[in-house]
Amino acid sequence: MAGDPTISMLWERDEPLAALADRFGFAGVGEAVGWLRETLRTAGIGQVEQCDRLVLSASNLLAVITVDGRRYVAKCCADPSRLARLREIDSLVSWLGAEGLPVAARHGDPRRAEREGISVGLAPMVGGDLLDVGDPEQVVAAGRALAELHVALTAYPLGVGADQHLPGEQLVHGDFRSANVLYARGPGITCVLDFDDVCYRSRTADLAQAAVLLGTRYHAWRPTEVGARTRFLAAYSEVAPLGSEERAALDRDITAVLGHFGWT
């Protein structure tokens, strides 16, 4: 294996090596990579040949790795209370991939390994750049992609958190925005990432949040420009039309999201 990978924070201001020690108990980058290599090897998932980058976010550690000649993102979680939910999300993402949705379907069997209180799941590296809301073509593609995702999620047979399902709600992504959507010229939306916030809520609430936050990434959040937001909503409605009551609810939900962030 080549030299140590780079390490950084995704959005927090903490010092990354200190965060690595505090949150995961690893004394340094080499120890973290060694743990990952041994965990995937003993779980029968594969041999880590290279690790290029580590990124920390809350209780998650993302590692860009090469396993048996193929590139993956390993997402490690040090929060034991989330392990059962992560396994449910694995099943959901695998199902969406089998249905033809642009997601990073999990790798292999087993898809997830757990060791020393840390869980790690593998997702294949997908090509594309973070969604650019300054490009009308990308905004339209994103609107259609969210609509297709919403339609697909209504048919999901298992249902993450289905015991909390209320009338008028459905399974939704929960964090559809530029930081979690990849785009490439030609294929369009190549991947919708990060289903950690998947939940049951009305589709208009999810759509409103996505419309307002579509351009946000990691720092300096601001609302999506009105023209881009309008294109996004129109593209969504072409695929999954909204009834009159839903359109009224969408307007209220957009106002609520703007108010929540103090953007009114």
Q: What is the pTM of this model?
A: 0.93
Domains in the chain, start-ordered, CATH in brackets? 6-124 (3.30.200.20), 129-260 (3.90.1200.10)
- What the block records as the tokens of 213 is 């936050």
- 57 with 11: CB under 8 angstroms? yes
Q: What is the pLDDT of residue 157?
A: 82
Q: What is the pLDDT of residue 198?
A: 96
Q: What is the pLDDT of residue 69?
A: 92
Query: Which H or E element spans position 224?
Result: none
Task: Characterize 44-65 residue by residue with b for buried, 16 or more Cβ atoms within 10 angstroms of its Cβ, and e for exposed.
Answer: ebbebeebeebbbbeebbbbbb
Query: Which H or E element spans position 178?
Result: none
Q: What is the pLDDT of residue 173?
A: 98
Q: What is the pLDDT of residue 220?
A: 84
- 8 with 15: CB under 8 angstroms? no
How far is the C-alpha of 216 from the C-alpha of 177, rounded, in Å?
Answer: 6
| 48-57 and 6-9 beta bridge pairing | parallel
CA atoms within 13 A on the CB side of 263: 16
pLDDT, one tens digit for every residue, the chain (264 residues) = 456 899 999 999 999 999 999 999 999 999 999 999 999 999 999 999 999 999 999 999 999 999 989 999 999 999 989 988 999 999 999 999 999 999 998 655 557 899 999 999 999 999 999 999 999 999 999 999 999 999 999 999 866 666 667 888 999 999 999 999 999 999 999 999 999 999 999 999 999 999 999 999 998 899 999 999 999 999 999 999 999 999 999 999 999 999 999 998
Q: What is the pLDDT of residue 110?
A: 52
Q: What is the pLDDT of residue 167?
A: 83
Q: In Å, how far are 73, 180, 209 from 143, measured between CA atoms? A: 26, 14, 12
